[in-house]
Every structure is written in structure tokens, then in C-alpha cells.
Amino acid sequence: MIKVGIVGGTGYTGVELLRLLAQHPAVEVEAITSRSEAGVRVSDMYPNLRGHYDALAFSEPDTRRLGACDAVFFATPHGVAHTLAGELLAQGTRVIDLSADFRLRDADEWATWYGQSHGAPELLEHAVYGLPELHREAIREARLIAVPGCYPTAVQLGLMPLLETGLIDAGHLIADCKSGVTGAGRGAKVPSLLAEASESMKAYGAGGHRHLPEIRQGLADAAGGQVGLTFVPHLTPMIRGIHATLYGRLTVEPGDLQALFERRFADEPFVDVMPTGSHPETRSVKGVNVCRLAVHRPGDGDTVVVLSVIDNLVKGASGQAIQNLNLMFGFDENAGLAAPALMP
Amino acid sequence: MIKVGIVGGTGYTGVELLRLLAQHPAVEVEAITSRSEAGVRVSDMYPNLRGHYDALAFSEPDTRRLGACDAVFFATPHGVAHTLAGELLAQGTRVIDLSADFRLRDADEWATWYGQSHGAPELLEHAVYGLPELHREAIREARLIAVPGCYPTAVQLGLMPLLETGLIDAGHLIADCKSGVTGAGRGAKVPSLLAEASESMKAYGAGGHRHLPEIRQGLADAAGGQVGLTFVPHLTPMIRGIHATLYGRLTVEPGDLQALFERRFADEPFVDVMPTGSHPETRSVKGVNVCRLAVHRPGDGDTVVVLSVIDNLVKGASGQAIQNLNLMFGFDENAGLAAPALMP
Amino acid sequence: MIKVGIVGGTGYTGVELLRLLAQHPAVEVEAITSRSEAGVRVSDMYPNLRGHYDALAFSEPDTRRLGACDAVFFATPHGVAHTLAGELLAQGTRVIDLSADFRLRDADEWATWYGQSHGAPELLEHAVYGLPELHREAIREARLIAVPGCYPTAVQLGLMPLLETGLIDAGHLIADCKSGVTGAGRGAKVPSLLAEASESMKAYGAGGHRHLPEIRQGLADAAGGQVGLTFVPHLTPMIRGIHATLYGRLTVEPGDLQALFERRFADEPFVDVMPTGSHPETRSVKGVNVCRLAVHRPGDGDTVVVLSVIDNLVKGASGQAIQNLNLMFGFDENAGLAAPALMP
Amino acid sequence: MIKVGIVGGTGYTGVELLRLLAQHPAVEVEAITSRSEAGVRVSDMYPNLRGHYDALAFSEPDTRRLGACDAVFFATPHGVAHTLAGELLAQGTRVIDLSADFRLRDADEWATWYGQSHGAPELLEHAVYGLPELHREAIREARLIAVPGCYPTAVQLGLMPLLETGLIDAGHLIADCKSGVTGAGRGAKVPSLLAEASESMKAYGAGGHRHLPEIRQGLADAAGGQVGLTFVPHLTPMIRGIHATLYGRLTVEPGDLQALFERRFADEPFVDVMPTGSHPETRSVKGVNVCRLAVHRPGDGDTVVVLSVIDNLVKGASGQAIQNLNLMFGFDENAGLAAPALMP
């Protein structure tokens, strides 16, 4: 039994960590912090947790108490982990950061996209990008994990087999992504109101989105060189789920794409390559740490289309964070992550 | 480890049994039948089950194979359990029927509401109404369970404390109930289309609904005498959930209603009386076997209002069925039913 | 052609006034005010208005400019019309107030429910409650209209025939009301987020809601004496629409209820009594100024159930405001209000 | 005043024609046919039409009665207009076909995609493709109109300016399209149920969809030569709306793309080019005959992204049909099509 802390637990990734950890056989939540809600019981804020964490209340961040944990999750806006991670690491606590703070290896690029200077560049060399399908061995040894973003997870898993094998033109990739509204967080903003966001579909950030440099960095790792990517996210009238539709142009005759994908992910517990001709639905991964993929080659032409779905709050955030924790502490990789998706 | 079968597994209560049983430590699903889908793997029909039941396929109903199970669930339209239950019981298999076949004690009343004669009146005396909050001890000994309907569960749990104590006029009860569309099943009907049912609210069956006699029978048990009930169900634009708003007129000064409710359900693992002034949301029970209740007395007048929410597919169907199974086989009552609700 | 102004045009009732007035043959929108958005073109904020009001921008409130209008609508939070209405009336401008400022005849009761003293009690005797089905003649002569609230409109129209004829016990009325989320306005609040409010149902204000005294006052007018009402509003996962389910206990043998309702509303252009056995859907009034009603008497018992649906933004707000304007200026009562509902 | 008939009026495009024509100053609906619903009043089937067409009932198809109309709309599955159009044309009635029967100029290609031989190849030379932005003059003179499909309308309008000017590689176009569920029609199919289609997103027909040849034909007209297109439609959890996200690779330095789009559609009453940097929402065209467009060039790279939204039932079907009618009969092009969109 290990003890974990959660910093910034009032948002959707925070409550999702609690929901999933309630089923984890080897983890106890020792502390969950929130400046604004300190003193409030988590089950008063999130009634789905009534009966599960009845003694747990939000507390002021306290680095001594957090430092006594084996691991601490950051479910915070960007910038917070910069401030606190170093101190916790110094106390021997492992840090699993769900924010963007340590995802980009280049502190200057981070500063450009986030509009402030990087707060802990000295930690960057220790940070491991927590995508197990690409960095599993490094994760096992890591003390600081940057959990990938939701869009980056769906896009990287979908394009990985094609880029690793050099089958497509890496200079002209297209990722048309559709996300449920929890991707925008729990902040009270007019465009996220049910009255504004339901019964409608729209793109946003077509000119440039903060996940773009992260995706490019990850795809470049897979491709072994720079990539060119057009990334258009869309707001979809649903609570959870990301559907990434990925387009690449074949540069060589690819052989059996279905077999390529199946082979690539044969040993991956959380990537499910669906049968030829499938169209994965986001609801098939609602609440679970799974990425389902299908690969198409319309009309046997030179364009390959990959369909990739995840739950943005699970494989795109809190579930992937726990998968990283499991690897770091030698637990079964699917501990706490074994239940099937809720469907319908 | 016991072996169970499921008859009629293609509907929503069937897949929900599979979803929940995947987490049950002591149950193995031996067979799931469907005439129309025989031969189809359950994970091909329900991709959320991929990775969980990869060897399980729908099969033709076979009473010998089902009779070799310790228990069989019926997730069928009414009439089917009438035909098969007797044969299974004779082989020593326990039967847990999610349909309406054995809910009404009076075969003639059943015939009136279902438009056909009762197919197994000789079994009625053996059937136990599977509402653990009212019949837990009888359930432990039962061989044939009639799992309560979704509306009846929400309404009975909400009114039970008031009727058992005789505080309200049992002759003039009102149950205004709102249900998600899975309550109408998985049949392809125009009114259940997203294009018809979303962005709208409507009542149905205001003149009389099949759950009315079942609710009346259950409330009469609690009240110790006949009751009068006006029951108006409404179709709500959501997938899961029932919200029952219950109105009763006080006939005596009631004392502390909050304390009454808390006391009544103090030992119930799946009934959660919320704090004074609460308004339970159906999403707080999404996917779980819980009924959350709140009791109000507006303006300290003579009308008491109870708010009762369940997930119609879980506490209103498949979860309650498993709760019954757990009682019948001496398992922990919450085996397989322990995960928190999915929220948001 | 008359000129109108709109004070507080950035909320849902403001944009709805613009949408409807764009089709009005005799009205020109001269000014629309908003302190926070002054200078912004209405079509930049509401792209559905592109091509309709391309020259119109929000402006600072200016009582001289507003006073030059024939009529001014207030689509403001409570308290604003108190401050400005008197000055406009003094300039000869008629005022149609969509807020709660002049709905209650008793300034003290207003103060109790709104938590501040009434700002213009001297105007109360001039205010006419703008429910044409009850006060059409007074509306024609009025200079200050209090447009009814959304819940009050649906409830009053549904109970009116029963109370006017004294058929039901006026002391124990029940109004179980379900509203889409636009009823909560366009404010950025967490509970109104799509991620919080969709896929869920909940009651709110069960202990007391600001529309309660308004409904009681209106029902008392119809009943000719005090009434007792239990009113429970519910938040429903849809954008628009109110479904009021109304329960009354018959005190006498009522005769033909269907005929009673049809007779009562025979000459009403915006009340549609549906055929016997109907269940009106809120989507059937989406975007239009219609109230559809159905009356049921389940099991021929002593409880009568009325189903009443409106679009909360139209017959429950902006459409009713324009219906009042039409009466005040001698236009066709349905000018600008003639299009059918959008369905599906 | 002209008289029109509607063949096959029970689906969504049929009721949408009625909704829009109720506001048309110069059109009277003489007949609406349906074999299955003959004798049923349209307002009994579609309560939103109560008060608008109270005398109109569905009737058996009768070519004499239809032939007495000035124009007849076909809102039928494919194949029906093949059978009846010739006879009506011979009687001097103009035919506006909303189905796919006359959209493809090549009868063999039609047969390939629709799995049956073309039923009226002799009429193909007379059919005009009813996209006014491309064929306005021909439409004015036409007697037989093939109303474009919903996806084809959104895609063609979005790519038209780029292809007409030869700025992009016409051989590798990508159309990633998202549609509300009414695009699948009013048929009772399990995947269209609210319980299946809401809270989820999925692609379909990634390997090939019937709208593909129609889009290719239209884009080839604009490009002046063959085009290559990858078209992936997605089912989106909303009732109405199409969002097409279109990707093209620039082959030359394009100059001012915004100005190009504004110039191309300057005189088009129903195409709205939004300001630079915009992201049109489908809800901004809910219920109206408008296509809103925005053009982006992310990072000033060589990929251009066009965002194109329509209401699939209006500009994608019934509204465009009426726009054609207006042109054919010399009415104002926006007669009956002038109301703003319903938002929120």
C-alpha cells in the first residue's frame, strides 16, 4: 500500500483520479489540496464519491504532508508544478504531473506557447514523457512524469505505427480532432454552457493550439525527425471523449496496414486495434483507459486514414497517470484500470 | 466461483449485467443467449466489452446448458421467463428475472396489464420480490426472484419511510417520474431516436402505465393496506437515470423527517440519504447500484416532497439483480457493485 | 412602424427579442443597450443575427435615446427596471419589463423574495401583469407591463380553467416543473456547464423559489381567493422548454374536462388544447409563442393532471413580451409570431 | 400564388418543407403524399404544424393531382423520382427532387453506388444540379432540379473559391465532415437511438460513402478537371447541422485568401464569409438556409483549412429546394427563407 497526494483536486482530472483510485488495490489517497475549497469534504463537492472517501477533505497545499507521500499527482493549471515539483522530488516523492509543465523538452518553446517563462527548466532533463507505448522502460525508472495531453495521446498512438515505419509523408500530417467539453476543464465560461455548446459543433484554435508543439515533439520522436502537422480541434456536444481522425499520404506501397497496427500494439494492454473496416465510437471507451484504433485506406488510394478514440479524462489524463504510477511502483499495469466502459 | 447464464442478452440490461459481472470476484458467465444474434461474439456487438469476454458468444437458448448454471438471469421481454423458469428451477438452478413476469402477485392483474394470460401462475407463490430494503431475508432463501422495475424501485424507496410510519395520506400519493431513454429499451422505435427525443421533454402513459400496479402493490406492503397513487412518467433527454419526485400529504405532525429517513436506511448499503436541503442529481448514480434520497417539507406545510434518484439500468435493473444474487449466494452484498459513479 | 429599444440585450431574452423582431412587420429596433458590451455589434456577439442587424451595436444606456422610442423592453436582471422605468414612462415611452420588477403587486413580498427593497413602489399601481389570457383588455391600455415569468406562464395557463370553475381543491395544488437550462440565464456558472448539466436531472429550490409568490398571486386571481401550492422546479438537460405537470384534486364531479379546456381557450391565438389523451412535447413549441396543453384524469379518479408546455424564451419571455406589444399598439396579436416551431 | 405538391412527406425533409413554406408569401401546398400515412393530418404527425396546415392530410400519390401543381418536390428515398418525374414533367409540372436520383450525370456511376440501375436516364440531360452558387442561371430555366446533398453542399461551397482559382492541389483534397443525426433520416434504426448516438462520436463510411461521387463531380466542375478527394463523414450527437473541415495543399502563393472568399460570395444571399480568424458554429445556421464559411492558413504554411457549416435540413435540403423554386418562378430568392437562426 502506497500513499499518494493530489494537488489541485477540484477539477475534472482530480475527481477522476479519485474515482479510479477508489478501485486501486494498492493505493491510499493521503491528501488532496485546493486553496479555494480547503475544509470541504470531497464527497460534498462530488456526490458520486459519497461512501468512498467520506473522511477525505480538501486541504491547503502543505509540502511537508505531500512530501510524506510516495507519489504526488498534479491536477493543476500550468505553472503550479513548476513551483512545487522540485521540493517534493528533493524529499524523495515521485511526481506525476498531469499539467503541461514538463511536456515540452524545450523551455523556450514552452514559454512561447504558455506566455510565461518556464519555472523549473533544471528539472526538464529528469522529466519522462509518460506515454507508456513509447517510453515504458524510462517510466519505470522515472521520478518525474509529464503525463501527455489528451489530444497528443490520441494523435500519437494513431500515427505511431505509420511514422515509425516511414510509410507516410511526415511533412504533411493532418489531425482533425473532436473533443467533448470536459477537455475545456471545469471553469465557468460562457462557451462551455450547455445552452451554448450543445446542439452545435465548431472548430477552435485552427490557427494554433497549445497541444500542437507537444504533438509535433512526440511525432518527431516516432518518426525520427521533424514533422509537419496541421491540427484542428473541434468542440463536440458531449461530456467525454476524443475522436481523432488522422490523415497521412503514403510514400511507399504499405503492405498490410491492419497487420502493421496489430503487430505494433500486440503487447499493449490499453491499445485496442479494431478489426478491418471498423469505426470506433468514443462511447466504447467512456470511463476507461483504452485507446481504440482503426486504420482505413479509402479506395486503395495514397491516403491512409486512422480513427483513434480515447476518453480524454482517462487515457487522456487521469487513467494514463495511474498507468504511469503502476509502472513506477511495479504494480500490475492495469491495477485500478480493469473495469469495462460504461455503455450505453 | 459460481456459474451464471443470461437469457436474452442483447438488450441494455443484458450488456449491463456483463459490464458489472466483469468486476465480480465470484461469478463466471457461462452462457448468454439470443436467438437473433446466436454466434455473434458479445464484444462484437458491445465493443466496450472487448478485452473482457473475448471468448463469449451469444448462443441459442439451451435449457440443459442453462440448467447447469448455479443461477440464470432473465433479461427478456415479458412472457419468456414464464416459459423457461419452471424447467430451470426444476434442475436446481436459481432464477433471477429482470422482466415483469413475476412481479405482480395476482395473475389476473398481470393478465390485465400485459394483455395475455399469465404463463406460470403456479410459480407465483415461490417468487420473491427482489427489493432487498424490504425483503432481504426472504431473498436469501429464494430460488426465484422478481427483480423490481426501475420506476417501482425509485418510488418505493422514496415513500417507504413515510408509509411505514403512517405519516402521510396513503390514499393520495403522487409520483412524478422522469426517466432517461434507456428505460424504453434498445428497440428501434422512432420516438426513441436522438432526433426525436433529445432537446425535448414529454410525459407518457399519464392515463395508466404498466408499472402502476407494481408500485401500488409494493407501497401497499409498506403501508400495510391499500394505497391510491397518481403516477406520471416522463421521457427525459438523457441516456440513463430516473428522478422520482414524490408528493404526500402529512396527516400528523411528522417530527424530524430527516432523522426518520436516515434511521430507516442506516444499515442499507445502497440507499444514501443526503443531508437536509439536498437535491440529488441522477448523474451522481450513473453506473452504480445506489439510490440517493432527499426529503423536503416546503414552507413547513402539510406536503412532503421526496427526491429519489437511481440509475434505471443498475439499481433499477441489473445492479439490483446482482445485489439479489449476492444475497442468495452469501457473497458480500456489494460484490461487483463497489465502484463509484462516473461523474462528470 | 414604431421604434423600440431594448435595455440589457446580451442575455438570452435579449437576443430572442432581436430574433423575433427581425420578422415583425411594424417594429424597428432603434437601440439595444449593454454596459459591458457597448460598441460591439450585435451580430458579432450573436452570429445568427448576421445579415439581419448589421448596423446595430450595443450602446451605453441613454435615457434620452430610449425615451425617444415608442416602447422599451427591459431584458435585465431584477432591480434595473425599478431605476429606469419611471423616467421613460414620464417621457411617454411604454415599458415592457421582462424582469421580475413589477410582477408582484405587494412591494414587501417582493423585498422578501429578492432580498432588497422595492425600487419603484409608486409604479406598482400602473403595472399590468402581461398574461393576455387573463388581462388582455388591461394590456391594451397599459403603459407598464410586467411580463410573466416562464414557470408562472406554464402553470397559470394549465390551472386556469380548473380554478376559474372551482373544480379542484385550490389549497393543495402541485406544480412539478421541468425547465431547459436557458431558464438559468447566460451567466457563466459551473452547474450550467454542459459537462455538469447534461446527462442528468435534478430538482432545485424545492424549499422555495422566487417564482412561487408570482404563481400564487396569479392563481389566486383565477381562483378568486388564496391558493396553496407546492412548486418543485427541475433542471432538464435541454436548451429550451418548460414542461409543467400539474396536479389538482377534484372536489366535485367535473363533467367533460376536455370540453372545459377547449372552451376556455377557444379564442386564444397562442394556447393550443391538444386532443384527449395527448402528451405535448416541449419540442413542439421550440422557438414559438405557443402553450400546448393536455388534460388527463387517470383512472377516472379524483386527481386531474394537466400537461403544459412552452418555450421558456418565447411564450415564457420574449414572445409574450411581443404579444403584449402587439396588443398595446393595436397590431395583429400574432405579428412577428407566426412561424411554426422548429422540429426536429 | 403557385401550387406545389410534396411526394413523400413523412420524413425530415418533408416536414421541413412544410415548416418553411408556411412562411412563403407566394406558395400554397396543394398535396402531400405518403402511402403509409394516407389519411393522417400532417399536424397530427407533426404537432409543430398545428395551427398552420390544419386542413392538410397525407394522401396516396396521385399523378393527376400532382400534375395539376406548378411544382412538385420529391422528399423520397432514391428511386421514387425516377418513376414519377417523367410523367409530371410531361404535364408541365416542374420537379424539384431532393433525393439522389438526378444528382450524378453518369447513369452507370449512379447504378454502381446505389446498387440498382438508373430508372430514368433519358431525363438526365434535362436535370440541373441545384446549387445556385454555381448554376443560378441554368436553374432559372430548369424544369427538373436535382437538389444537392447535404455533405456535397457544405464541401463544394467551402472549396469552390480555391478550386476555381487553381490555388490548391486538386488531386489530394480532404473533407472531414461532421453531421447531426437527422442526416440519417427518420428511419427507426438502432444506431440512431438517443441511447446509442448521444454522448459519442464516430466516423462511418470511411471506406466510401454515396455522397463521394456527387462531391467529386461538383468539385471537378469548379476545378475544371478531375479531383482526388478523401471524404470521411462522422456522426455527431446533435439533431441538425453539418460542419465540414476542408484541407487543401497550396500549390502557389495564394495572396489574400480572406479577400478571395469574400469576393467570390459577395453577391450570394446565402453564403456568409465570416471575418478572418472566425470559427463558425453549426448552431448559428440552425433552421436557416445559410452556409457560413471561414478560411484559415495555420502558421502561414502550405495547408489551407476551410470551415463550412450548414443546417443539413435547410441549406442541405429543404431550404435549398425552396431557393431553387424561388429562382425558377422568379420570386425573391429569399422568399420564405428570411428568418434568423434559432440560437441558443
Identify which of D241, D245, D302 has the shortest CB distance to residue A203.
Answer: D245
User: Is the separation of the CB atoms in D182 and D239 below 8 Å?
Assistant: yes
**Comparing C-alpha atoms, which of C44, C207, C6 is closest to residue B305?**
C207
- pLDDT score of C21: 98
A178 shares its domain with A250 = yes
Whether residue B239 lies within 8 A of chain D, CB to CB, comes out as: yes
In DSSP terms, which residues pair with B5 in a beta bridge? B31, B72
What does the alpha-carbon distance between residue A342 and residue A337 come to, in Å, rounded to a whole number? 13
**Comparing C-alpha atoms, which of B92, B93, B89, B154 is closest to residue B124?**
B89
- Locate cell 406562464: which residue? C153
pLDDT band at residue A208 under the 50/70/90 scheme: confident
Q: Do B206 and C241 touch (CB under 8 A)?
A: no
Query: What does the radius of gyration of chain B's CA atoms come to, in whole angstroms?
Result: 20
What does the alpha-carbon distance between residue A154 and residue A156 come to, in Å, rounded to a whole number? 6
Nine-digit cell string for A17 = 483520479
- The pLDDT mean for chain B works out to 97
Q: Do A195 and C189 touch (CB under 8 A)?
A: no
Q: Do B340 and A52 touch (CB under 8 A)?
A: yes
- pLDDT score of D9: 87
Choose, out of A194, A198, A286, the residue to mutate when testing the contact with C (most C CBs < 10 Å).
A194
Choose, out of D15, D48, D289, the residue to mutate when testing the contact with C (most C CBs < 10 Å).
D48
C102 shares its domain with C161 = no
D108 shares its domain with D160 = no
**Comparing C-alpha atoms, which of A28, A102, A18 is closest to residue A69?**
A28
C258 shares its domain with C178 = yes
Nine-digit cell string for A128 = 519522462
What does the alpha-carbon distance between residue B55 and residue A137 come to, in Å, rounded to a whole number? 32
Element (H, E) at B15: helix B12-21
Sign for the pseudo-dihedral over CA of A326, A327, A329, A332:
positive
pLDDT at residue B94 is higher than 90: yes
Mean pLDDT of C151-177: 98
pLDDT per position as a tens digit, D214-229: 999 999 999 999 999 9
B206 shares its domain with B275 = yes
D156 shares its domain with D10 = no
Nine-digit cell string for B215 = 408500485
User: Is the separation of the CB atoms in A30 and A16 below 8 Å?
Assistant: no
pLDDT band at residue B233 under the 50/70/90 scheme: very high
- pLDDT score of A74: 98
Non-local (6+) Cβ contacts of D344 within 8 A are A195, A196, C12, C182, C239, C240, D283
Nine-digit cell string for C234 = 427541475
C111 shares its domain with C182 = no
- pLDDT score of A237: 98
- pLDDT score of B68: 97
Element (H, E) at C138: helix C132-141
Angle at Cα B39 formed by Cα B35 and Cα B40, nearest 5°?
100
Mean pLDDT of C2-24: 96
AA letter at A201: M
pLDDT per position as a tens digit, B159-184: 999 999 999 999 999 999 999 999 99
Mean pLDDT of C80-97: 97
Count the Cβ atoms, other than its own, within 10 Å of residue A251. 13
Q: Which domain holds residue C77?
A: 2-129
For residue B164, the distance in angstroms to the closest alpha carbon of chain D comes to 37
pLDDT per position as a tens digit, B110-153: 999 999 999 999 999 999 999 999 999 999 999 999 999 999 99
* Catalytic residue status for D69: no
pLDDT band at residue B42 under the 50/70/90 scheme: very high
**CB pairs < 8 Å spanning B and D:** 54
Residue A194: closest C-alpha in chain D: D344
Answer whether residue B308 is part of any domain.
Answer: yes
Q: Which of A226-235, A288-297, C146-155, C207-216 has the lowest mean pLDDT?
A: C207-216
Non-local (6+) Cβ contacts of C17 within 8 A are C6, C9, C73, C75, C318, C321, C322
pLDDT at residue B84 is higher than 90: yes
- pLDDT score of C164: 98
For residue D159, give the CATH number of its domain.
3.30.360.10
Residues of chain D neighbouring B182 (CB-CB closer than 8 A): 195
Query: Strand D291-296 relative to strand D303-310: parallel, antiparallel, unpaired?
Result: antiparallel
pLDDT band at residue A9 under the 50/70/90 scheme: confident
Answer whether residue B328 is part of any domain.
Answer: no
Helices (H) and strands (E) counted in chain C, each on its own, are: 11, 14
Nine-digit cell string for B319 = 445492479
pLDDT per position as a tens digit, D163-178: 999 999 999 999 999 9
User: Is the separation of the CB atoms in D155 and D177 below 8 Å?
Assistant: yes
Non-local (6+) Cβ contacts of C215 within 8 A are C151, C152, C155, C156, C175, C229, C231
Residues of chain D neighbouring B194 (CB-CB closer than 8 A): 181, 192-194, 197-198, 237, 239
pLDDT band at residue B99 under the 50/70/90 scheme: very high
Sign for the pseudo-dihedral over CA of C94, C100, C101, C105:
positive
Sign for the pseudo-dihedral over CA of D165, D168, D170, D174:
negative
Percent of all residues in chain C with a pLDDT value above 90, rounded to a whole number: 99
If one counts the domains in chain A, the total is: 2
What does the alpha-carbon distance between residue B212 and residue D60 come to, in Å, rounded to a whole number? 41
DSSP C202: E
Identify which of D231, D243, D302 has the shortest CB distance to residue A202.
Answer: D243
Percent of all residues in chain B with a pLDDT value above 70, rounded to a whole number: 100
Q: Do B307 and C279 touch (CB under 8 A)?
A: no
Q: Do D340 and C22 touch (CB under 8 A)?
A: yes
Count the Cβ atoms, other than its own, within 10 Å of residue A165. 16
In DSSP terms, which residues pair with B291 in a beta bridge? B271
- pLDDT score of D77: 95
pLDDT per position as a tens digit, C272-307: 999 999 999 999 999 999 999 999 999 999 999 999
pLDDT at residue B339 is higher than 90: yes
Whether residue D131 lies within 8 A of chain C, CB to CB, comes out as: no
Nine-digit cell string for A47 = 456526490
D47 shares its domain with D98 = yes
pLDDT per position as a tens digit, A165-203: 999 999 999 999 999 999 999 999 999 999 999 999 999
Maximal C-alpha separation, chain B: 62
Whether residue D194 lies within 8 A of chain B, CB to CB, comes out as: yes
What does the alpha-carbon distance between residue A233 and residue A183 come to, in Å, rounded to a whole number? 11
- The pLDDT mean for chain C works out to 97
For residue B327, the distance in angstroms to the closest alpha carbon of chain A comes to 20
Catalytic residue among C69, C150, C177, C291: C150
Q: Do A282 and D201 touch (CB under 8 A)?
A: yes
- The pLDDT mean for chain A works out to 97
User: By three-state DSSP, how is residue D5 classified?
Assistant: strand
In DSSP terms, which residues pair with B182 in a beta bridge? none
pLDDT per position as a tens digit, D147-166: 999 999 999 999 999 999 99
> Phi then psi for D276, rounded to 5 degrees?
-50, 135
**Comparing C-alpha atoms, which of D200, D311, B238, C12 is closest to residue A237?**
D200
| DSSP string covering B242-286 | EEEEEEEEBSS----HHHHHHHHTTT-TTEEEPPTT---BGGGGT
For residue C55, give the CATH number of its domain.
3.40.50.720
Answer whether residue A8 is part of any domain.
Answer: yes
pLDDT band at residue D208 under the 50/70/90 scheme: confident
What does the alpha-carbon distance between residue A198 and residue C198 come to, in Å, rounded to a whole number? 9
Answer whether residue D138 is part of any domain.
Answer: no
What does the alpha-carbon distance between residue C71 and residue C94 come to, in Å, rounded to a whole number? 5
- pLDDT score of C208: 87
What does the alpha-carbon distance between residue D88 and residue C95 come to, in Å, rounded to a whole number? 56
Count the Cβ atoms, other than its own, within 10 Å of residue A185. 15
AA letter at C157: L
- pLDDT score of D329: 98
- pLDDT score of D107: 97
What does the alpha-carbon distance between residue C206 and residue B279 come to, in Å, rounded to a whole number? 8
User: Is the separation of the CB atoms in A247 and A172 below 8 Å?
Assistant: no
**Comparing C-alpha atoms, which of B228, B246, B177 is closest to residue B206?**
B177
Region label for D63, one of left (φ > 0), alpha (ψ between -120 and 50) or beta (otherwise): alpha
Count the Cβ atoms, other than its own, within 10 Å of residue A35. 11
What does the alpha-carbon distance between residue A313 and residue B344 come to, in Å, rounded to a whole number? 10
Cis status of the peptide bond prior to B161, with omega within 30 of 0 = no
B159 shares its domain with B302 = yes
DSSP B238: S
B163 shares its domain with B109 = no
User: Is the separation of the CB atoms in B320 and B285 below 8 Å?
Assistant: no
- pLDDT score of C47: 96
pLDDT at residue C9 is higher than 90: no
Q: Do B237 and D194 touch (CB under 8 A)?
A: yes
Answer whether residue D180 is part of any domain.
Answer: yes
User: Is the separation of the CB atoms in D337 and D103 below 8 Å?
Assistant: no
What does the alpha-carbon distance between residue C33 and residue C41 come to, in Å, rounded to a whole number? 11
Q: For residue D39, with 0-12 CB atoms within 10 Å meaning exposed, 13-18 middle and 19 or more buried, which class applies?
A: exposed
Angle at Cα C54 formed by Cα C52 and Cα C55, nearest 5°?
125
> Phi then psi for C233, rounded to 5 degrees?
-85, 150
B32 shares its domain with B171 = no
Answer whether residue A145 is part of any domain.
Answer: no
- pLDDT score of D317: 98
Answer whether residue C64 is part of any domain.
Answer: yes
Answer whether residue D167 is part of any domain.
Answer: yes
pLDDT at residue B9 is higher than 90: no
Element (H, E) at C179: strand C173-179
D13 shares its domain with D110 = yes
Q: For residue D188, with 0-12 CB atoms within 10 Å meaning exposed, 13-18 middle and 19 or more buried, which class applies?
A: middle
